Structure 1
Amino acid sequence: MHIHHLGLENSVLNNFILELRSVTIQNDSMRFRRNIERVGEVLCYEMSKSLTYKLGDVVTPLGKKEIQILHDKIVICSILRAGLSLHQGIQNYLDQAENAFISAYRHHTNDSNDFEIIVEYLAGPSIEDKILLLADPMLASGQSFVAVKKALSSLGNPKEIHLLSVIAAPEGIEFVSKHFPENTHLWIATIDSHLNEKGYIIPGLGDAGDLAFGSKLQH
């Protein structure tokens, strides 16, 4: 898997990450969603440089100009619910892309730290021979991405897969690398230290879904 760790370079991206992490800022849910969206825009812009383009013409009021235009067919798929803001950021730049949505959540057994990923909802177009972008803000254990990949197989075989996340743990990156094709690309804003015993990223930022959309009842 090809890993693109954008946070290693100095850019305004790190300001967005700071605000997402800060306990004094992140509780403003509208600002939190917007920062996730802005990170999605940065990740998407950098990812777009790796796509396929073809030469086309544009007619202006004063003439004609050749320009390289995006040629790939793209499907953006976000993991509900935390992925919605990240999805919006990607879609802001790839507004002609098709869209898919899938649910994935942790189901803990016997009140233990062990869990499995449950997928219950999927809506999307064919992904056959298209570029598939999977969006989820937190790449913790990596099990959600793997479960989603399995569920999406019913929609076809993509030409290439790109994973876009805000924060990742090394354990999750290693797990995903073992279950996705070698030519998969991971576009990540920052990589943290490790997972704790409950499978949460440390230092992370907390529960991205709750911070973006409010707390939820556990079932």
Structure 2
Amino acid sequence: MSNLPSNVNISKHPCLRAKLSQLRSKSANARETKDLVHEVSLILGTQALASLEVVSAGADESPIGFQYDFETISPQKITIVPILRSGLGMLDALQTILPFPVSVHHLGLFREKISLQPVEYYNNLPQSRDAVAKLAIIVDPVIATGGTAAAAIQTLREWGVDRIIMIGILGATEGVIRAAEEWPEGVEIWMGGVDQSLTDKGMINPGLGDIGDRLFLTLGK
């Protein structure tokens, strides 16, 4: 979309777009919602991580005795940061895509109901400077007002990461712009789709509903 900042990428993958329509449906039950979030995250994550660098890690030997150049990705120091709760639904997909295990650090953020401003209630980022990742991959299915996304970006920037890739399934235009402008030179955002408007309660229209409630069957709480 031409009105979005240059560090925002919207997937055009046909299978993702079809699955996103399935995920939007109120008829999708919790199991179907979980599967669709995972499947969309696999497609989106593969596209988002295509910018990683391939580097040689020495030589290895094939099962029939031939030497080959063993390739891996750079940077090696990567962390995945799911935004609680719904970001957990995307975590397994990113762990599947990456060729080696990486750390997972959780951020708990919720929107205060009246002001719609983010409130942090959980943060398990290690304080040791040696533990700071080069690349942080934030996963959160929905970027609505952008307040939570911007707060997460600011937290990781202050932690000391060099770069952030934020992956979301669906966003509202104003929220995605707000997130993208939080740290333009350090953040790359990948979205499955973007809707134009928000309701007066800060929900994306037509959106996905409360994806956390749909994933964890806490509707009507």
Q: Is the TM-score greater than 0.5?
A: yes
What does the per-residue CA deviation read over 1:146-200, in whole Å, with 9 as the maximum and x for residues that have no partner?
A: 222333456x311111110000111011211221232411111111121122211
**1:1-219 map, 5 Å:** 1-6=6-11, 8-9=12-13, 11-24=14-27, 26=28, 28-56=29-57, 57-62=59-64, 63-72=66-75, 73-94=77-98, 95-109=100-114, 114-125=115-126, 128=132, 130-153=134-157, 156-215=159-218
1:30 offset after TM fit, Å?
A: 1.4
The residue type paired with residue 61 of structure 1 is P
Whether the 8 Å contact between 1:52 and 1:70 is mirrored in structure 2 is yes
Q: Percent identity?
A: 23
What does the per-residue CA deviation read over 1:58-82, in whole Å, with 9 as the maximum and x for residues that have no partner?
A: 3211212224311212100000001
Q: Which moved further from structure 2: 166-175 or 125-134?
A: 125-134
The residue type paired with residue 34 of structure 1 is D
Q: Count matched residues.
A: 209
Where does structure 1 lack aligned partners over 5 or more consecutive residues?
A: none
1:14 offset after TM fit, Å?
A: 1.8
Whether the 8 Å contact between 2:39 and 2:93 is mirrored in structure 1 is yes
Structure 2 CA distance for partners of 1:151 and 1:88, relative to 1, 3 Å: same
Whether the 8 Å contact between 1:86 and 1:136 is mirrored in structure 2 is yes
What does the per-residue CA deviation read over 1:105-125, in whole Å, with 9 as the maximum and x for residues that have no partner?
A: 11123xxxx322111111134
| Paired position in structure 1 for 2:3 | none
Where does structure 2 lack aligned partners over 5 or more consecutive residues?
A: 1-5
1:129 offset after TM fit, Å?
A: 5.1
CA distance in 1, matches of 2:192, 2:157: 27
CA distance in 2, matches of 1:177, 1:60: 44
Structure 2 CA distance for partners of 1:176 and 1:210, relative to 1, 3 Å: same
The residue type paired with residue 53 of structure 1 is V
Whether the 8 Å contact between 2:8 and 2:180 is mirrored in structure 1 is no
Q: Which moved further from structure 2: 193-202 or 59-68?
A: 59-68
What does the per-residue CA deviation read over 1:95-152, in whole Å, with 9 as the maximum and x for residues that have no partner?
A: 512111111111123xxxx322111111134663510111110011110012223334
